[in-house]
Amino acid sequence: MSTASAPRRRLSRRQRARVSRGLQYAVLLLAVVIFAVAADWDRIGEAFFDTEVIGELFPQILTTALKNTVIYTVCAFAFGLVLGLVLALMRLSPVLPYRVLATVYIEFFRGVPALLVLIAFGYGIPVALNTEVPGGIVGTITVALGLVAAAYMAETMRAGIQAVPRGQMEAARSLGMSHTRAMVSIVIPQAFRIILPPLTNELILLTKDSSLVYLLGVTLPTRELAKFGRDALNQYVSMTPILIAGLCYLIITVPLGILVRRLEARQAAAR
Amino acid sequence: MTAAAAVEVRDLHKSFGDLEVLKGIDLRIAAGEVVCVIGPSGSGKSTLLRCVNLLEEPTAGQVLVGGVELTDPEIDIDAVRRGIGMVFQQFNLFPHLTVTENLTLPQRRVLRRSKAEAGEVAASGLRRVGLVDKAEAYPAQLSGGQQQRVAIARALAMAPRVMLFDEPTSALDPELVGEVLGVMRGLADEGMTMVVVTHEMSFAREVADRVVFMDDGVVVEDGPPAQVVAAPRHDRTRAFLSRLLDPAAGPASGDAAVKAAGPAEHGAAP
Ligand SMILES: Nc1ncnc2c1ncn2[C@@H]1O[C@H](COP(=O)(O)OP(=O)(O)O)[C@@H](O)[C@H]1O
Ligand SMILES: [Mg+2]
């Protein structure tokens, strides 16, 4: 306050920063006040948070929709993880054809939309070859999203394996371990610790991508969160189901996000 | 000459691309012998050691350990390496495993020892290097000297017939060097065949049966420490040793010149 009354004195850098931050808070507060006054709260409350509709959504939104989202995500992630590791090892192989094959695969599946891959496995391949992916909806989404996720995870895992110091492999080999044994017992466990944060991020992305399953024409018991919310939106003509479905995603993704930050902080501290 | 040498190297050549690092090394190490390899940085000491357990593939020549030719392409290298322990400058403990697990995992996976047996061997190994109380610690919780002692115990747990040491104390703070050399001295007293790349001249003088001086990819001098360290015959050995004992003296042959020029330059300074 004393600085404001001082006659045209130059403000110090810190004082200027404080004034600027104060202004920003003031503008933000004003916007919130205007919004709060101008908004039709009854209407908004009913559209976004209709308690009656919420009552109708439970418990199926948890027992069916959330459960299915988790199942699709975990299956696709597990499939992608295994395939991604194989691809990463192929990328690092001294055998040229393996490297080429893995590179082509990774470039292809990183480049095409997951949606297209899902359509291919849900409709294209069944129509063209008259066979279906075993396991129904779960099988199809596991393969389709897993194939795409594998491409991303392969690159992450390759980087992780390369980040393990060479001396680790040499020490393992000098103790008589085969290359494979050293990889399995020494190098890969260390690589996974390094890449746990990016892998968890990939899991978060997959959680959201699992909503693409609606393309496959899901039935009542196979609906996941997004489809469930949309069906309820049509049924109750309310925004509430969408909001609740969104919150259910956050139940999964926010803890994972916190986990990623924890892991990153721990790695930074260990360095 | 007695029976088959513990380690025998015949006309060993090793090149990295165009760079020839080993230019024909011949070396015979009898069972129970302790050989120290000394020489300037970049002279090929590490490469020689790494060729002895085939961490590097020799370009030409032969390596025999316990009479078995490692350079034979038909050989099961993993089986041969079990009989050769190696200790690295950077310790290379497995950071995701506890000290005990560092010792037991290789025994269990390579030698297929039972959990109980591997545990016993690990415990007695840790007793020997004086680290029983660190059995459940992770490598990051240990000092460099302790890590290197664990690394030695880990190699010994595989019951090797030959131990290779590549500058085992070079990454250590000076006050931690003694504890590692002490363990190595004990090992030598028990009759272990050892090849030690080191700059610790007192260790070489007191423990080694032979000292090998390497320079520029060849063995320049090879003999008992009383000769190679105390009374070197070759100029290159003498120059290296005088640099090692008095690092401030400056580059090799110019010792006298540098010393003479020193005070003059100092006087000319403002
Ligand atoms: N993997 C490698 N690739 C290329 N050059 C190498 C490699 N390893 C060692 N060298 C070179 O070989 C020479 C000898 O290295 P090294 O055996 O480590 O020497 P020393 O252990 O005596 O210091 C050095 O010039 C080094 O740069
Ligand atoms: Mg070296």
Q: What is the 3-state secondary structure (H, E, C) of B86-116?
A: EECCCCCCCCCCCHHHHHHHHHHHHCCCCHH
Q: What confidence category does residue B265 fall into, taking pLDDT thresholds of 50, 70 and 90? A: very low
pLDDT at B253 over 60: no
Is the domain covering A51-270 a CATH 1.10.3720.10 domain? yes
Task: Give the pLDDT score at A126.
Answer: 87
Instruction: Tell if the CB–CB gap between B82 and A174 is shorter than 8 Å.
Output: no
Q: How far apart are CA A231 and CA A113, in angstroms?
A: 25
Q: Which string of DSSP letters, residue by residue, matches chain A? A: -HHHHSTTPPPPHHHHHHHHHHHHHHHHHHHHHHHHHHS-HHHHHHHH--HHHHHHHTTHIIIIIIHHHHHHHHHHHHHHHHHHHHHHHHHT-S-HHHHHHHHHHHHHHHHS-HHHHHHIIIIIHHHHHS---TTHHHHHHHHHHHHHHHHHHHHHHHHHHHHS-HHHHHHHHHTT--HHHHIIIIIHHHHHHHHHHHHHHHHHHHHHHGGGGGGG---GGG--HHHHHHHHHHHHT-SHHHHHHHHHHHHHHHHHHHHHHHHHHHHHHH-
User: Which of B14, B15, B19 has the most ligand 1 atoms within 8 A of CB, as the residue to mutate?
Assistant: B19
Q: In three state form, how does the secondary structure of A170-205 look?
A: HHHHHCCCCHHHHHHHHHHHHHHHHHHHHHHHHHHH
Q: How far apart are CA B45 and CA B215, in angstroms?
A: 9
Task: Give the pLDDT score at B267.
Answer: 38
Read off the pLDDT of residues A152-199 as tens digits, 9 standing for 90 and up: 999 999 999 999 999 999 999 999 999 999 999 999 999 999 999 999
pLDDT at B262 over 70: no
User: pLDDT: is B263 or A14 the higher one?
Assistant: A14
Axis-axis angle for helices A136-163, A67-91 (nearest 10): 40
Q: How far apart are CA A145 and CA A206, in angstroms?
A: 8
Whether the complex's predicted ipTM surpasses the cut of 0.90 = no
CA of B48 relative to ligand 1 center, distance in Å: 10
User: Which of B46, B89, B165 has the most ligand 1 atoms within 8 A of CB, as the residue to mutate?
Assistant: B46
User: What mean pLDDT comes out for the span B54-76?
Assistant: 93
| pTM, two decimal places | 0.84
Inter-residue contact B172 to B12 (CB < 8 Å): no
**Range of lowest pLDDT (A242-251, B201-210, B249-258):** B249-258
| Amino acid letter for position A41 | W
Strands B34-38 and B210-215: parallel
Instruction: Tell if the CB–CB gap between B90 and A172 is shorter than 8 Å.
Output: no
User: pLDDT: is B48 or A215 the higher one?
Assistant: B48
Q: What confidence category does residue B251 fall into, taking pLDDT thresholds of 50, 70 and 90? A: low
Q: How far apart are CA B266 and CA B37, in angstroms?
A: 38
pLDDT at B264 over 60: no
Domain positions in chain A: 51-270
Instruction: Tell if the CB–CB gap between A167 and B106 is shorter than 8 Å.
Output: no
pLDDT at B259 over 80: no
Q: What are phi and psi of B217, to 5 degrees?
A: 85, 10
Other CB atoms closer than 10 Å to residue A264's CB: what's the count?
14
Distance from CA of A214 to the nearest CA of B (A): 42
Report which DSSP code applies to B251. S
Inter-residue contact B148 to B180 (CB < 8 Å): yes
Q: How far is CA A197 from CA A74, A145, A158, A256, B96, in A?
A: 17, 20, 15, 10, 17
Task: Give the pLDDT score at B228.
Answer: 93
pLDDT at B244 over 50: yes
User: pLDDT: is B130 or B261 the higher one?
Assistant: B130
Read off the pLDDT of residues A78-101 as tens digits, 9 standing for 90 and up: 999 999 999 999 999 999 999 999
Mean pLDDT over the full length of chain B: 90
The token pair at A238 is 């309310």
Task: Give the pLDDT score at B250.
Answer: 59
What distance, in Å, lies between the first and last C-alpha atoms of chain B?
A: 64
Helix, strand or coil, per DSSP, at residue B15: strand
Instruction: Tell if the CB–CB gap between B158 and A170 is shorter than 8 Å.
Output: no
User: Which parts of chain A register pLDDT below 50?
Assistant: 1-2
Q: How far apart are CA B119 and CA B157, in angstroms?
A: 10
Task: Give the pLDDT score at A271.
Answer: 59
Mean pLDDT over the full length of chain A: 90
How many Cβ pairs closer than 8 A exist between chain A and B?
Answer: 59
Region for residue A21 given its phi and psi (left: phi exceeds 0; alpha: psi -120 to 50; beta: otherwise): alpha
Q: What confidence category does residue B176 fall into, taking pLDDT thresholds of 50, 70 and 90? A: very high
pLDDT at B44 over 50: yes
Task: Give the pLDDT score at A134.
Answer: 87
| Amino acid letter for position A8 | R
Q: Which chain B residues are within 8 Å of A190, Cβ to Cβ?
A: 94-96
